[in-house]
Amino acid sequence: MDIGVSEIDFLKMHIKDGQYSLQPHVGQESLKFPNTDLSKKEVQQFLGIENYMANFVDRLSPVIKPLQNMLKKNATPWSSKLTEAVRKIKKMYKDYQLCLFLLFRRYFCKLMQVIYTGQ
């Protein structure tokens, strides 16, 4: 364990300057799942990742709901609605990653401006 560091990766989170974000490898795992015909076990695994990501990706919970219904005792068979939910969740994660990249880029550009111009 390191003491006195300014940033750390801990419990699938990257913590820096009093803020935390999801480590990229967490969401990457969800992209590896197929879009269609997930087994009950695969749905459980997929939802485990997505439940963790729900703290970081806005409006993810309503999209997850149809997949959660797949875990009920008398669940309906796989449908195009569920396939669309999986695709939408994956897109939301990709959009989250893009947002992080753009925020980093804006921060980096501002930092470079300060370094070069002093403003």
Please give the pLDDT value at position 61: 83
Four-point Cα dihedral 95, 91, 55, 102, nearest 10: -10
Q: Given a cut of 90, is residue 43 above it in pLDDT?
A: yes
Predicted confidence band of residue 1 (pLDDT cuts 50, 70, 90): low
Q: Contact, 15 vs 8, CB < 8 A?
A: yes
- pLDDT tens for residues 69-110? 999 988 888 999 999 999 998 888 888 776 766 666 666 666
DSSP character at residue 116 = H
How far apart are the C-alpha atoms of 59 and 93, rounded to whole Å?
Answer: 11
Please give the pLDDT value at position 107: 65
More confident residue, 9 or 71: 71
The dihedral region occupied by 23, where left means phi > 0, alpha psi between -120 and 50, and beta the remainder, is beta
Coil, strand, or helix at residue 16? strand
Query: What is the rounded average pLDDT for all residues in the chain?
Result: 79
Please give the pLDDT value at position 117: 65
Please give the pLDDT value at position 79: 92
Phi then psi for residue 21, to 5 deg, are -140, 165
The H-assigned helical ranges of 59-79 are 61-69
Domains of the chain: 24-117 (3.30.70)
Please give the pLDDT value at position 91: 87
